């Protein structure tokens, strides 16, 4: 039998971790879409499950979420944390993993970062630089 090669230090998740993350993401999105969590904050917000990053041993799932429009981020995060135990149990029933992963929720900052870059690109300074014609070589 050949030794198993690890990707130690590369920071690149394995195919197994990526696949497990997608399964957890789909399961959680389905739970939220069907309104299975009985919490007034969660029931009144549409929540996007953007990404799930699994630890290499698949025992920890970091779930990146964003409420629609980015409103009430802290309230939504607190509501998800309050219902963490229920959600973990539901995910364990729907996703066939050896262990039910511990879950933690984070706000997905990619939407804010994309907006910041868009604002920079539309700024007068950048527009001025883009409209300049390159000087001709003599």
Burial 102-134 (b: 16+ CB within 10 A, else e): ebebebbeeeeeeeeeeeeeeeeeeeeeeeeee
Provide the pLDDT for residue 136.
46
Residue 6 is assigned to a structural domain of this protein: no
Residue 47 is assigned to a structural domain of this protein: yes
Number of domains in the chain: 1
**For 55-70, what is each residue's pLDDT tens digit?**
999 999 999 999 987 7
Provide the pLDDT for residue 133.
62
Residues of the domain holding 31: 15-131
Provide the pLDDT for residue 131.
78
Residue 7 is assigned to a structural domain of this protein: no
**For 23-47, what is each residue's pLDDT tens digit?**
999 999 999 999 999 999 999 999 9
**For 94-104, what is each residue's pLDDT tens digit?**
998 888 899 99
Residue 32 is assigned to a structural domain of this protein: yes
Task: Assign residue 68 the CATH number of its domain.
Answer: 3.30.300.20
């Amino acid at each position: 039998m050949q030794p198993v090669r690890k990707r130690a230090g590369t920071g690149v998740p394995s195919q197994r971790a990526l696949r497990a993350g997608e399964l957890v993401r789909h399961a959680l999105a389905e739970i939220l879409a069907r309104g299975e969590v009985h919490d007034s904050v969660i029931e009144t917000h549409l929540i996007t499950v953007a990404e799930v990053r699994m630890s290499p041993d698949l025992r920890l799932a970091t779930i990146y979420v964003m409420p629609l429009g980015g409103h009430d981020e802290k309230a939504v995060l607190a509501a998800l944390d309050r219902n963490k135990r229920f959600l973990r149990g539901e995910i364990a029933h729907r996703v066939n993993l050896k262990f039910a992963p511990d879950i933690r929720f984070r706000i997905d900052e990619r939407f804010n970062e994309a907006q910041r870059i868009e604002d920079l690109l539309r700024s007068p300074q950048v527009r001025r630089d883009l409209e300049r014609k390159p000087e001709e070589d003599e």
